[in-house]
Each structure stands twice: as C-alpha cells, then as structure tokens.
Amino acid sequence: NAGVMQNPRHLVRRRGQEARLRCSPMKGHSHVYWYRQLPEEGLKFMVYLQKENIIDESGMPKERFSAEFPKEGPSILRIQQVVRGDSAAYFCASSSPPFSGSTGELFFGEGSRLTVL
C-alpha cells in the first residue's frame, strides 16, 4: 500500500518561472494538506483540500500561490513567478477521515524541495 507520493523530489527554477508540485494521497484518503518548511523553521500550514474543494487556505500567500485537488489525479500546488524566498521544502500530508487530533494521524510524503535561482 503506497504511502503519500510527492513529485518531483527536487525542483530548480529561475526567478519568474512557475513551479508545480504534485501530491498523490494514500489510497483511500480524500483529504490533503500542504505544508511549507523554510530553512531553520518548522512546518507552516498552507492549505487543506478535499476532492474538488478547498476547505481552508488560511496559510496560503495571497498572491502567486494556488492549490487544487481535482476529482481525478493528484493534488497540485502551483507557484507562479517564483522568487528566491519561495525556496523551501513543501510537504503534502493526507488523512481519512478528516484529520482529528483525538483520533487521527496525518501521513506525510517525502517532500518536494524547491530551489529558486
């Protein structure tokens, strides 16, 4: 049973280019979370999605960042016009049912490391 799959593992972009990060949740999971880990910092929540629906995007920067989780296919985190400050590790996690601290567990992927030159 495959775990959470993220790709690419490493992505290099020049300033102004677009970055697309993909996440396939664990089989049977329909809830996806994206986190960003900046150097020397912990993980920061970005967005929580269900299939075809954004539940909570309170952690997403207002500009250039977007996320989707279509009915078919992986969840995608898209960063337009990347800047050096976007360099970070982006982690996807999934759960089913929706993560609940009292009963659930988040399962994380290995992360996608974005480097902006």
Partner 1 sequence: GDSVTQMEGPVTLSEEAFLTINCTYTATGYPSLFWYVQYPGEGLQLLLKATKADDKGSNKGFEATYRKETTSFHLEKGSVQVSDSAVYFCALAPGGGADGLTFGKGTHLIIQP
Please state the closest distance from residue 16 (CB atom) to partner 1, in A. 29
* Cβ closest to partner 1, residue 1 vs residue 100: 100
* Cβ closest to partner 1, residue 6 vs residue 24: 6
Q: Are 94 and 32 in contact (CB under 8 A)?
A: yes
* Cβ closest to partner 1, residue 85 vs residue 101: 101
Tell me how far apart the alpha carbons of residues 73 and 96 are, in angstroms, rounded to a whole number. Answer: 17
SS (H, E, C) the chain: CCCCEEECCEEEECCCCCEEEEEECCCCCCEEEEEEECCCCCEEEEEEEECCEEEECCCCCCCCEEEECCCCCCEEEEECCCCHHHCEEEEEEEECCCCCCCCCCCEECCCEEEEEC
Positions in 29-88 near partner 1 (CB under 8 A): 31, 33, 35, 40-45, 48, 55-56
Work out whether 99 is an interface residue with partner 1 (CB under 8 A). Answer: yes
* Cβ closest to partner 1, residue 45 vs residue 87: 45
Q: How many residues bind partner 1 (CB under 8 A)?
A: 28
Interface with partner 1 (CB under 8 A)? 3-4, 6, 31, 33, 35, 40-45, 48, 55-56, 91, 93, 98-102, 105-106, 108-111
